Chain A
């Protein structure tokens, strides 16, 4: 290969056409072919010579990029007048032109109006050189401060999670990897041995420095705190700080725990804040979240499909949260879905399953549709469009039938708008032009006529629509839930529920006050809680079970056994006696058994929830599975 390259180097000579073009430009009309050849060889040689000298200047200038001043200096060495007017730090914009069978690269020289230059205000003076000191290493250990590069780059995090054997860490862990390397060379055969190697992989310590702990505390407090300005700052920090790699497991656990607790508490505001944290983490260019998806995705999915996210489902805009979470979901599917972890297909399956279920509540239905719709036009086309008729009929039943409950009506309305919004743009693309109302009605049923008008609208402003769909920022249209200061008197269960992991400023609590009796006649009864385990055992498989049932006996889903004994067992038992009256409280058990790392917040606890079983409650469970190490995930989702 080197040989080939050299040969190329050897033969590179300026084309004779260039010589002709240059000769013409200086007024020499007829240049003989022989002279052209001689000239081009000579010129090529001289140019190479100058380039070699310029390289010297680049090396001594301690740069990797050759600049025009290097060329100038090289010319000066040869006693040649340097080229003036080519001072440019960046690339020189050469233009290309062809015509009459000739090709030409040239430098565009614009005529510059002096008065323009004089009249334009002076550009800002570039900042002066300044000197800044920081610790690159303290007694051999590189502190993780913004001035230092993150201990692991994004690419590295990626390889670490996708190819655990190939990881080479810079810096202090060099020695460990050398050992690892040595091992991998000595035992190249045998899969069992390789598995052993995975365990032997140098365990990265998750000790946080005092500064990091402080930072973590400040950030988490600000993120769920009451001050919006502070929160914006904190989220900004999460989204941009390059040194968060070490804290990622903490943040991930914080979010998943927070969602778990707050979904039970129906604390919409906090759920929104947590989702915004997820968004910020995803936005951080230095973080690779793949390892923590098993915690984040369940949390996000919870926020999409949970039956109830807020205290007053009729008033509060929990729909916005569902939309936002759905966008997050879609984003993570896009970024992290691979053939081994199949995130997208698993999520799709989960969502479709509950969508196809007749007993799904309007809220969950909305979430499912939103989640699917965000996954893209293809998903809408294959999964949602065929359902339009069915959904239309369901909506019609609620809208035009006897008023069952206000909530159902609101839900149906939202589902309707959502369907119209997402489907219209897709239909606009796939359906031929004439939009006939009757045709639409025949094809899509109840929603047909509305769809038709929407499609017409969508066609006119297709571009605008597309932009709106892509938008992933969350605007909270709903007023923040009022939080009362006196939190101790929570109904039934107060104290032990506050998870220890969420540090709450004294003025604020994670749980908003809940009136003893629901204001609505039939609030949704059961909840979807999509749960994950806390980070910890790396090689274990996790099965997240989400179940909801109205049967008297609690549904227990056990986890298929994997190789590891340290498997976290997550059970969610939700039992409700059918036929309860509206105000009858429902006992809910969350049983979580975890490896030793379980924190206090995971203790079995009970909560008294004022719920009743609505007629439309559903059975069936949603299971989400994720396995940590790719390659083990041979199990298909249930």
Chain B
């Protein structure tokens, strides 16, 4: 599993460099000497320097091609020290632990066994545990280190360069050229400006041409698209070579190639121009740092480009979205519905259930035929249904017969739960699927659970009292509850930092919370105590969510990786690495086979739970993504970001299919109605907005061409799709939830 993690994507981890302090501490004493001991442990030192150089080149190539395993084997065969990959020997922070991590990659054993291997294989790393007593932290720096050599390689790539004073001329020359080309190519070639600008600026900074770099920045930063402003701000503060080492944004930019999508014609034009002018400097940057995805056909228009750009590392490569995604839903287990109940209740609603009944059946039969887009039932092992789950399913079906059909002329009612006296401290909210419980995560580290039904929250009796209960009685489940503890509110204490993510298990027995303290806690809603603290992230965990089938859950945080966990494992089952910045929100696909993550790098990734691969990368947002929602049929994904826009994505085709403009501030919650007709969005701007999702998805023209090229024409029909805007009284909307009958619940803290 760890191998998957390494392989899955260009390795780039936040924790590597953020942990740089630790890393440097750890390896400070070994330094160059470490290499000697390490080699001594393995094989005799390598032969002549030329040979070593070739080996190094091969190793670098392997690293670049993400063949970490092969590189590792080759390195060991050649008996090269770990830090040999680092040509300059500077910033050898990762050297010691790096080797350890290499051995650690072999299998996904727990941290302690890892540690033991580390001590055997490398004397350098043996010092690690002494320096840092925290087991987790140690493991952490170990797993992070493979990237460290990469960093210095990447930085050193800047060393070869031309005359700094000419950069200005190069850039303005290119600018003149692009401005003079035909209109149809200009938009496409303009995409080059930003990555070139950044790389040229960084080269200048790296080579200690501070004043030139500043002048360069001031002269050309105004030309860049406005949605890059935030990155430019970070870039502008970076004026010294020393700053580059610890800067995450910079590393993101370096470790991943900026992806541009350009038509063949435009590319030829550019190539010819650069060759004519002998403009090697720019050509080198394009060759080394950019990835130009060339396609045949019409050049794209400015609006098409703008729709897709904005992410930290350019657009997604086309092949990144080519993998097949089984977005269909899993077959529901057949549960016999006790019909007698149905008839009783159908008395006054004679028409409704009968009308819906056949529909339900037809849907059922469809799923029996096995949707070609649905994954195999056993693709991901799912927990077996318990009796209580079956009961719940029956309840669900009963409720869904009473569900209101929503539409543009039949808007849902919205019930707003306001958290009063929260003193700006409410950070996360979740509601159970049956809408009986509501939980809030607070900045004061508490988690509070309310019952919103007359049924109060009760704890299970103590073990001594439980012994006294007649276990054979029919109402044993009732008897185990301690009536004395009944209350509407239960407070869960345990975290040591603001609680940023919260999620109920589908069976309402558990509650997950993720916090600034780097842990995810699993709480029992029977005893209202903490059951497990899942450690691994070590940095703030921004979001967590249970799988729709329970058992699994996903978490994502500041360390830029999302982790898939099972409740009975204290180590993650999968690590999804690839995002270039914090993972801000995580969502499970309704069929539990995929996980979507939104990030501060302004991309959304879809990960396959089975093999840990990233199967979709969606770019187009211009700010960190804070809300994600899958449509109930699993075909579509909606995402909301700080830019106040909601984007709609077709998962199967890997395309952006809609843009909903209207909100004026960060969107913190998105939710589709139970039948997927309405999309509700809640935002920091104190409004709930309802959008006509049916219409948004119906109007799609997904012919083969658009599907193949990914070039969509988005019509600006936000205003037509907006069905309603509902202002609250200075209450940001943090959570939205459709009840089983399609009543919309919203929640937020009053913010006077």
Contact = CB atoms under 8 A, between A and B. Distances in A.
Interface of A: 2-3, 6-7, 9-10, 41-42, 44-45, 48-49, 52, 56-57, 59-65, 67, 69, 73, 77-79, 89, 126-140, 142, 147-149, 170-172, 174, 178
Contacts of A62: 426-427, 668, 684, 732, 734, 749
Interface in B466-520: 489, 497-498, 500, 516
A133 B415 contact: yes
Contact of A131 (B452, B684, B727): B452
A148 B727 CA distance: 7
B221 A129 contact: no
A3 B229 CA distance: 10
A10 B239 CA distance: 9
Given A10-B214, A130-B421, A136 B233 contact: no
B416 A133 contact: yes
A160 to B, nearest CB: 16
Contacts of B232: 6
B413 A139 contact: yes
Interface stretch (B34-42, B58-66, B113-121, B442-450): B442-450
Given A45-B240, A129-B442, A147 B234 contact: no
Contact of A171 (B417, B497, B626, B724): B724
Contacts of A65: 424
Contacts, number: 174
Contact of A127 (B222, B421, B690, B732): B421
A308 B234 CA distance: 75
Contact of A148 (B410, B438, B448, B728): B728
Contacts of A178: 719
Given A6-B233, A10-B236, A137-B726, A131 B450 contact: yes
Nearest to B517: A76
Given A10-B221, A131-B419, A174-B722, 15 more contacts: A3-B221, A6-B233, A7-B218, A10-B237, A45-B238, A59-B624, A62-B684, A73-B516, A131-B452, A133-B415, A137-B726, A140-B690, A140-B723, A147-B418, A149-B730
Interface string B505-545: 00000000000100000000000000000000001101000
A60 B410 contact: no
Contacts of A56: 558, 582, 600
Interface residues of B, number: 81
B628 interface: no
Given A6-B221, A148-B728, A77 B442 contact: no
B729 interface: yes
A2 B416 contact: no
A69 B443 contact: yes
Nearest to B623: A59
Contacts of B539: 77
B170 interface: no
Interface of B is mostly: mixed
Contacts of B165: none
Contacts of B256: none
B731 to A, nearest CB: 9
B217 interface: yes
A131 B417 contact: yes
Given A69-B443, A134-B415, A78 B18 contact: yes
Nearest to A173: B725
B243 interface: yes
Interface in B566-612: 582, 584, 600
A89 to B, nearest CB: 7
The 8 closest A-B pairs by CB, nearest first: A140-B411, A3-B222, A10-B236, A136-B414, A136-B416, A137-B414, A48-B237, A127-B421
A636 B725 CA distance: 44
A107 to B, nearest CB: 22
B423 interface: yes
B747 to A, nearest CB: 8
A45 B237 CA distance: 6
Interface in B4-52: 18, 21-22
Contacts of A126: 421, 423
Contacts of B442: 129
A148 B749 CA distance: 14
A9 B423 CA distance: 32
A446 B232 CA distance: 79
Given A62-B427, A136-B415, A136-B746, A6 B240 contact: no
B190 to A, nearest CB: 17
A56 B248 CA distance: 14
B647 to A, nearest CB: 18
6 contacts: A6-B221, A10-B218, A45-B240, A61-B500, A129-B442, A131-B450
B250 to A, nearest CB: 11
Contacts of A174: 722, 724-725
Contact of A139 (B229, B242, B410, B732): B410
Contacts of A64: 684
A41 B642 contact: no
B266 interface: no
B420 interface: yes
Interface in B539-560: 539-540, 542, 558
Contact of A142 (B423, B726, B732): B726
Nearest to B584: A60
Contact of B729 (A9, A48, A67, A147): A147
B688 interface: yes
A10 B688 CA distance: 37
Contact of A137 (B423, B542, B724): B724
A89 B424 CA distance: 9
Interface in B112-131: none
B540 A73 contact: yes
